[in-house]
Amino acid sequence: MGTVTTNTPEEGTPGTGAAVPTDAELAQSLAGDFRSDHITVEGLRLHYVAGGEGRPLVLLPGWPQTWWEFRKVMPALAEAGHRVIVLDLPGMGGSDKPATGYDKKTMAKVVHGFVRALGYDQVDIAGHDVGSQVAFSFAANHPQAVRKVALLDVLHPDASLYQIPMLPAPGMPFHPWWFAFNSVAGLPEQLLAGRARHLVDWVFDGFLLDRGAVDEQARAVYTRAYDTADGIRGGNGWYQAFGQDIVDLGTYGKIGAPVLGLVSNLADGLFAAQMQATLPTQAGDVRVVVVPDAGHYFVEEAPQAVIDEFTTFFA
């Protein structure tokens, strides 16, 4: 994964004793007149941040993150002529954490209701990690509501997930143990409530080339989002629904909207090879771009690459 640099927290930053800013304060800190707000859709109170004017571009974050994942790209995308709308998915951050409904088809229905509640019939949409899975399902289940879709580093769950080994074989480029861990009901909440910072640091330190790309403030924001039993349970719900997601994928045809796949070169190119092989079988108009010199969290580690590709693709 290349050279990893360390990030030393600055005195007084969140995580070292200072209070973590609220979502409203974080939104107002961004250029482009971004505002934090809530809306109720499908009985769920959803949190989102929006700013800019123009064609709507909906961004969906991944695990273990929140809308704050897109902070480095939001102002530039707004400046490029988009109404940038970043949604905390059900189970994430400031949005409700229901007991059920974490399969990606149901989550895509919620996103569709969210889009309609904001007054849009059609949007551009992009997601990273779990957000990418929801964006794919949105395009598959609500084709008239999507103009273009970008999928970042992660594909929709398919049967290959059942082949993940319980134990890492010698030479495996990485071992996604958290897929099984997050699928266990009840125990992760007991182990991680109040201790989520350990998981947050492990994930980012392991999947960034430059650990400082997700700074102390961001880690504190994400820790706050996943530090309660409900926050952990909500994030785990996305993984516990993978079985249903795999069944649903078998009922989908090819996506008709143009698709941009942005993928890291992690795991000795495993992520990139998988996306390059799989996406053309799932959509008719596909372009896959490998983001060099960045890990899985490249929205934060290589924001200019994301800005450049999005600006061109969603123009």
Question: Pick the catalytic residue: 88, 96, 124, 129?
Answer: 129
pLDDT attached to residue 5? 31
- Residue boundaries of the structural domains of the chain: 30-313
Question: Is 296 an annotated catalytic residue?
Answer: yes
Mean pLDDT, residues 255-284 taken together: 94
Query: Are the C-beta atoms of 23 and 36 separated by less than 8 Å?
Result: yes
Two tokens at 244?
A: 């249903």
pLDDT attached to residue 70? 99
CATH class of 30-313: alpha beta
Residue 88 and residue 315: Cα distance in Å, rounded? 24
Q: What is the DSSP pairing of strand 82-87 with strand 44-51? A: antiparallel
Mean pLDDT, residues 241-253 taken together: 98
What type of residue is 214? V
pLDDT tens, residue by residue, 4-55: 333 333 333 334 446 899 999 999 999 999 999 999 999 999 999 999 999 9
pLDDT attached to residue 15? 41
Q: Which residues make Cβ contacts (< 8 Å) with residue 16, sequence separation at least 6?
A: 9, 10, 216
Mean pLDDT, residues 199-207 taken together: 97
Query: Are the C-beta atoms of 96 and 44 separated by less than 8 Å?
Result: yes
C-alpha distances out from residue 312 to 145, 305, 308, 309, 315, Å: 21, 11, 6, 5, 5
Q: Report whether pLDDT(251) > 70.
A: yes
Question: Pick the catalytic residue: 239, 245, 248, 297?
Answer: 239
Residue 35 and residue 59: Cα distance in Å, rounded? 15
Q: Report whether pLDDT(197) > 60.
A: yes
pLDDT tens, residue by residue, 277-286: 999 999 999 9
Name the pTM for this structure.
0.94
pLDDT attached to residue 215? 98
pLDDT band at 227 (very low <50, low <70, confident <90, very high): very high
pLDDT tens, residue by residue, 129-152: 999 999 999 999 999 999 999 999
Question: Pick the catalytic residue: 102, 153, 296, 297?
Answer: 296
Q: Give the CA diameter of the chain.
A: 53
* pLDDT-above-70 percentage for the chain: 94
Question: Is 129 an annotated catalytic residue?
Answer: yes
